[in-house]
Chains A and B, each alone.
Chain A
Amino acid sequence: MSHSETVSVSNADPLCKFPPLIKERGQREVFCGLAGIVWLHRKMQDAFFLVVGSRTCAHLMQSAAGVMIFAEPRFGTAILTDRDLAGLADAVDELDRICATLLERRADIRTLFLVGSCPSEIIKIDLAKAAERLNARFLPQVRVLSYSGSGIDMTFTQGEDQALKSMVPLLPQTDARQLIILGCVADIVEDQFRRCFDQLGIGPVSFFPGRRATELPAVGPNTCVLLAQPFNGDTLRALIDRGAKHLAAPYPFGAEGTTAWLAAAAAQWNVSDAQFSAVTTPLIERAKKALAKYQPLLSGKRLFMLPDSQLEIPIARFLNREMGMQLIEVGTPYLDRDTVTAELPLLPAEVMLSEGQDVEKQLDRVRAARPDITVCGLGLANPLEAEGLTTKWSIELVFSPIHGYDQAADLAEIFARPLDRRSRLKL
């Protein structure tokens, strides 16, 4: 048995509309679920994220956050020490003590997330129970929730899914007809989409997560859910358990993706074709005009995406269909078919999809294919550049506003910039 097991699944059914898939198991080069805290805490301005973990977890958070841009951030780590492991200190008491100090210090906090890590999972600290206990003490002033972002269970963006899932039991019940947009998006994107839904007469619309962790959407049998981020499968299923209906759609990346995404909601709200096109046509035209600038740079260029954010599939679709890029391999850390059913058929038949990772073997494939641009994590970008390959950090895809018509060109620009740079430098 080698270090990695590679399982190739070829399309057994000739009529299959899905591309072939490689499943790999080996060394990964992906953050764990803790990293999601970096954008979640910015979105929910009244929430604090307390990781219960090790110095490694604290160091990961600070490295992923781009190192210390906040004086006193709304996240932190309760670092386990020898005393905790030797049972000299009672984990329960310690956690209570830390939370009390923290909440006293930060009177602005309304929701405290206790975030599990690999060490806390392995030594079985029951954070759900801890949250219950703390709620008895701090409600209604502060609500305490818990989830796991541990790297033994979760990759990078799955942390957001677990955080949101932990909030689902708190959502009030409603029978009203309404739409939930699921997945963390930049405030500017939220505002644009709100205007768009208003003009289409679709509503009421709530965004989950909202700008405050205490602003929770209601859910019930007449609720439709549209995913804004493909990595929220578990939360989606939890909302479905609460009666919601999933509107499967491509993701709102690029003009085509955004139109299809809005159309999925429009169909539910019986928006007329005339009204739909009256609202979207000017937006599509503006987006297309903006995209045209980047087409010459991107068209025909060969793209290799290493697994990172789970955004790879929809973004590859956009780059292929709207920007004319050729896809060599599209990797995803984890393929959740529930969330990409509408995306997979849009990918070209010749693309190689890969799930999981054996980074050394994957890099061998990158070197063999010599793509025009390789999308990868921060640890790999400079070494690949040094091998003469042009790269783009995938992390930018979760930190920048890229959704919707008016960000379509920004999304294209993320990939065009490294190519532009490569062509400018006479070095």
Chain B
Amino acid sequence: MQLTLWTYEGPPHMGAMRIAASMRGVHLVLHAPQGDTYADLLFTMIERGDRRPPVTYTTFQARDLGGDTAELVRNAVTSAYERFKPQVLLIGESCTAELIQDQPGSLASGMGVPVPVVPLELTAYSHKENWGAAETLYQLTRALLSDRIPQPGSVKPRDASRPPRANILGPTKLGFRCRDDVVEITRLLAQLGIEVNAVIPLNASADDIRRIPSADFNIDVYPEVSRPTAAWLKRSFAMPHTTTIPMGVAATREFIAEVAGLAGVDAQMVLSREHQGQASLASSQSRLPWYSRSVDSTYLTGKRVFIFGDATHALAAARVARDEFGFTVVGLGTYSREFAREVRAMAASLGLTALITDDYLEVEKAIADATPELVLGTQMERHISKRLGIPCAVISAPIHVQDAPARYSPVFGFEGANVSFDTWVHPLMMGLEEHLLQMFRGDFEFHDDTPAPNPTTVVKVEAPPVAPVAESSTDPISEVQSAPTKDVTPVWTPEGERELQKIPFFVRGKARRNTEHFARERGVALITVETLYDAKAHFGR
């Protein structure tokens, strides 16, 4: 048993749902009790989906156990097929169904449904959501392509009269910015004269999966979901795949070079416009190099940033933070255990120990200990940061409703780099404004009983209505629990406190926190002027 308060990933069948819901003409029959239908709301509320996920739940009850739950499966398969007429039926079980061992996959396979039936083994007690998505995509692709595997050695070279073609593998519903990243990657490919053959699974049909082999290679944009499929296509169809994630300017340039190599086209037609080492507006298709170089960004130098998310986005963000923002990465971690090795290696190159965990409290503790000035994380880290009073930008799933924006906001490619610049810098500026507010709060203009000089400046702020999926700091149902009891808080001597007041207001809070942290670590109970400066020397800034 594992105690869990919040989870980064849902169960594996949630991953299967993400594949089915991403596609057209694919229906999932899920052997599951009624409560498991909650999963629908993640698609319709968090991502504002305008259709129900294509899932039929068998809805077995206690009184069916011992009776005929298998019959429920057959009925659900029949009615789902008749009503939705899918091109493919996926059959899965939730954690509870796995225990009653009805074998819904083989039951459904034996029913003579006139479309391919793909049974899924989702092993709910040892795996999680991304694994379930990867497994589902892999099983589905195998099922639809197994009769097309070429004989070894019979793969023909590409017909040079047609443009090279690529498939984009991995983007799904409830992933991070997948909708827009597909557009951005498609643009990059177009610049290289490469056609997109199929995007799998987002908006794909079963026929699109069958067309996968008409492409020359695959772009594996979300290895958590697509790597097993990409690897199988490489083995069985001799289709190579990319390994570079085009997040950030440098990685996008490398991605272009990698893709051009796989496609046999000249990367220079795009890369000649990219000038590594230069940072004027004309040096890149992205504005990030210039924005980051411009003097206004000096204040970003060495900002301490903590990064946590899925492996794909966390790894890419660490590199971008260090090389393209000039940040100091003070923490790096992931909940994607499948890619722990890569994240550990990256952390080591940053002089850090990677945090590989799906325990929210462990992440919270690591963040508090690292005293970062910016957190790049998931929806979960947004909450941790709010609690700790640290600015935060979301870079990875799990997401919340505000992370599915209406506007075009990719994170991959050159436009993605622009978007990252804005979204990572924005919370820092907000942080500065907050300090200003703190500073002036004592001034009389800010007092409640001061009449407003001009009635038009009076803004009545109404609490937003309580929506169950809305989150907001003014939410009447929000609640902050006391932190796990730490050691005794050290006490400031009057001289120490006076010295602290001389420090400029916008770093005072941090100085206080750092000094207390420093004192606590060394068991210093009384903070003197000396302690303050010892701590200052220790933290170095």
Query: Smallest CB–CB gap between B539 and chain A, Å?
Result: 26
Confirm or deny: A34 has a beta carbon within 8 angstroms of a beta carbon on chain B: yes
A56 lies within 8 A of B481 (CB): no
Given the known interface contacts A69-B471, A71-B387, A122-B65, the answer about A76 and B33 at a Cβ–Cβ threshold of 8 Å is: no
Given the known interface contacts A3-B76, A381-B44, A386-B50, the answer about A59 and B7 at a Cβ–Cβ threshold of 8 Å is: yes
Give B373-395 as 1s and 0s: 1 = Cβ < 8 Å from A's Cβ atoms.
00000011001100100000000
B75 lies within 8 A of A1 (CB): yes
Given the known interface contacts A56-B10, A63-B38, the answer about A118 and B96 at a Cβ–Cβ threshold of 8 Å is: yes
Measured between alpha carbons, how far is A294 from B361 in the docked complex, in Å? 46
Confirm or deny: B83 has a beta carbon within 8 angstroms of a beta carbon on chain A: yes
Given the known interface contacts A28-B59, A380-B52, the answer about A63 and B41 at a Cβ–Cβ threshold of 8 Å is: yes
Pick out which of these stretches binds chain B: A146-154, A216-224, A347-355: A146-154
Q: Provide the residues of chain B in CB contact with A78, threshold 8 Å.
A: 1-4
Query: Smallest CB–CB gap between B531 and chain A, Å?
Result: 29
Confirm or deny: B505 has a beta carbon within 8 angstroms of a beta carbon on chain A: no
A73 lies within 8 A of B5 (CB): yes
Within 39-56 of A, Cβ neighbours of B (below 8 Å) are at: 42, 52-56
Confirm or deny: B488 has a beta carbon within 8 angstroms of a beta carbon on chain A: no
B471 lies within 8 A of A66 (CB): yes
Q: Contact partner of B40 among A58, A89, A379, CB < 8 A?
A: A379
Q: Which residue of B lies closest to A382 (CB)?
A: B44
Confirm or deny: A340 has a beta carbon within 8 angstroms of a beta carbon on chain B: no
Interface centre among B4, B48, B470 (most CB of A within 10 A): B4
B6 lies within 8 A of A155 (CB): no
B1 lies within 8 A of A95 (CB): yes
Query: Smallest CB–CB gap between B375 and chain A, Å?
Result: 14
How many B residues are at the interface, by size bracket?
A: 35 or more
Q: Contact partner of B1 among A35, A91, A105, CB < 8 A?
A: A91
B35 lies within 8 A of A60 (CB): yes
Measured between alpha carbons, how far is A30 from B41 in the docked complex, in Å? 11
Q: Contact partner of A360 among B9, B83, B478, CB < 8 A?
A: B83
B471 lies within 8 A of A72 (CB): no
Q: Provide the residues of chain A in CB contact with B504, threshold 8 Å.
A: none
B468 lies within 8 A of A396 (CB): yes
Given the known interface contacts A27-B59, A84-B1, the answer about A59 and B14 at a Cβ–Cβ threshold of 8 Å is: yes
Query: Smallest CB–CB gap between B402 and chain A, Å?
Result: 11
Measured between alpha carbons, how far is A85 from B40 in the docked complex, in Å? 28
Q: Contact partner of A70 among B42, B76, B479, CB < 8 A?
A: B479
Query: Smallest CB–CB gap between A70 and chain B, Å?
Result: 5
A102 lies within 8 A of B3 (CB): yes
Confirm or deny: B467 has a beta carbon within 8 angstroms of a beta carbon on chain A: yes
Query: Smallest CB–CB gap between A254 and chain B, Å?
Result: 20
Measured between alpha carbons, how far is A66 from B471 in the docked complex, in Å? 7
Measured between alpha carbons, how far is A66 from B464 in the docked complex, in Å? 15
Q: Which residue of B lies closest to A65 (CB)?
A: B468
Given the known interface contacts A69-B479, A102-B3, the answer about A85 and B125 at a Cβ–Cβ threshold of 8 Å is: yes
Measured between alpha carbons, how far is A382 from B46 in the docked complex, in Å? 11
B34 lies within 8 A of A55 (CB): no
B33 lies within 8 A of A80 (CB): no
Confirm or deny: A123 has a beta carbon within 8 angstroms of a beta carbon on chain B: yes
Within 464-521 of B, Cβ neighbours of A (below 8 Å) are at: 466-471, 475, 477-484
Query: Smallest CB–CB gap between A272 and chain B, Å?
Result: 39
Give B250-261 as 1s and 0s: 1 = Cβ < 8 Å from A's Cβ atoms.
000000000000
Query: Smallest CB–CB gap between B356 and chain A, Å?
Result: 17
Q: Provide the residues of chain B in CB contact with A385, threshold 8 Å.
A: 50
Give A6-35 as 1s and 0s: 1 = Cβ < 8 Å from B's Cβ atoms.
000000000000000000001111111111
Measured between alpha carbons, how far is A71 from B380 in the docked complex, in Å? 9
Given the known interface contacts A69-B479, A71-B383, A81-B1, the answer about A55 and B6 at a Cβ–Cβ threshold of 8 Å is: no
Query: Smallest CB–CB gap between B434 and chain A, Å?
Result: 19
Q: Provide the residues of chain B in CB contact with A69, threshold 8 Å.
A: 383, 471, 475, 477-479
Q: Which residue of B lies closest to A64 (CB)?
A: B38
Confirm or deny: A119 has a beta carbon within 8 angstroms of a beta carbon on chain B: yes
Q: Which residue of B lies closest to A54 (CB)?
A: B95
Confirm or deny: A274 has a beta carbon within 8 angstroms of a beta carbon on chain B: no
Q: Provide the residues of chain A in CB contact with B409, threshold 8 Å.
A: none
Measured between alpha carbons, how far is A400 from B44 in the docked complex, in Å? 22
Q: Contact partner of A66 among B76, B468, B480, B482, CB < 8 A?
A: B468
A98 lies within 8 A of B3 (CB): yes
Q: Which residue of A lies closest to B477 (CB)?
A: A69
Q: Provide the residues of chain B in CB contact with A310, threshold 8 Å.
A: none
Q: Provide the residues of chain A in CB contact with B364, threshold 8 Å.
A: 71
A94 lies within 8 A of B1 (CB): yes
A3 lies within 8 A of B75 (CB): yes
Q: Contact partner of B95 among A4, A55, A66, A395, CB < 8 A?
A: A55
Given the known interface contacts A1-B75, A152-B65, the answer about A29 and B96 at a Cβ–Cβ threshold of 8 Å is: no
Q: Which residue of A lies closest to B123 (CB)?
A: A82
Within 52-100 of B, Cβ neighbours of A (below 8 Å) are at: 52, 56-62, 65, 71-72, 75-76, 78-79, 83, 94-96, 99-100
B45 lies within 8 A of A55 (CB): no
Q: Which residue of A lies closest to B475 (CB)?
A: A69
Q: Contact partner of A62 among B2, B6, B34, CB < 8 A?
A: B6
Q: Contact partner of A54 among B49, B52, B124, B471, CB < 8 A?
A: B124
A54 lies within 8 A of B479 (CB): no
Measured between alpha carbons, how far is A26 from B72 in the docked complex, in Å? 9
Within 77-135 of B, Cβ neighbours of A (below 8 Å) are at: 78-79, 83, 94-96, 99-100, 124-126, 128
Q: Which residue of B lies closest to A101 (CB)?
A: B3
Q: Which residue of B lies closest to A122 (CB)?
A: B99
Give A91-122 as 1s and 0s: 1 = Cβ < 8 Å from B's Cβ atoms.
10011011001100100100000000011011
Confirm or deny: B177 has a beta carbon within 8 angstroms of a beta carbon on chain A: no
Q: Which residue of B lies closest to A67 (CB)?
A: B400
Q: Provide the residues of chain A in CB contact with B44, threshold 8 Å.
A: 378-383
Confirm or deny: A269 has a beta carbon within 8 angstroms of a beta carbon on chain B: no
Confirm or deny: B51 has a beta carbon within 8 angstroms of a beta carbon on chain A: yes
Q: Contact partner of A118 among B35, B50, B76, B379, CB < 8 A?
A: B35
A98 lies within 8 A of B1 (CB): yes
Binding site for A on B (CB under 8 A): 1-7, 9-11, 13-14, 33-46, 48-52, 56-62, 65, 71-72, 75-76, 78-79, 83, 94-96, 99-100, 124-126, 128, 361, 364, 379-380, 383-384, 387, 400, 466-471, 475, 477-484
> What are 14 residue pairs bridging A and B, where the CB atoms are less than 8 Å apart in the complex?
A2-B79, A26-B79, A27-B58, A35-B38, A56-B11, A62-B6, A69-B478, A72-B481, A78-B1, A89-B1, A119-B95, A119-B99, A155-B34, A396-B467
Binding site for B on A (CB under 8 A): 1-4, 26-35, 42, 52-60, 62-64, 66-82, 84-85, 89, 91, 94-95, 97-98, 101-102, 105, 108, 118-119, 121-123, 150-153, 155, 360, 377-383, 385-386, 393, 395-396, 399-400
Closest 8 A-B residue pairs measured CB to CB? A32-B35, A379-B40, A151-B35, A386-B50, A151-B33, A54-B95, A3-B79, A378-B41
Given contacts A70-B481, A82-B125, A89-B1, 19 further A-B contacts (CB under 8 A): A1-B71, A29-B40, A30-B34, A30-B35, A31-B37, A55-B11, A55-B128, A57-B35, A63-B38, A63-B41, A66-B467, A68-B471, A71-B383, A72-B361, A76-B3, A118-B33, A152-B61, A377-B41, A379-B40
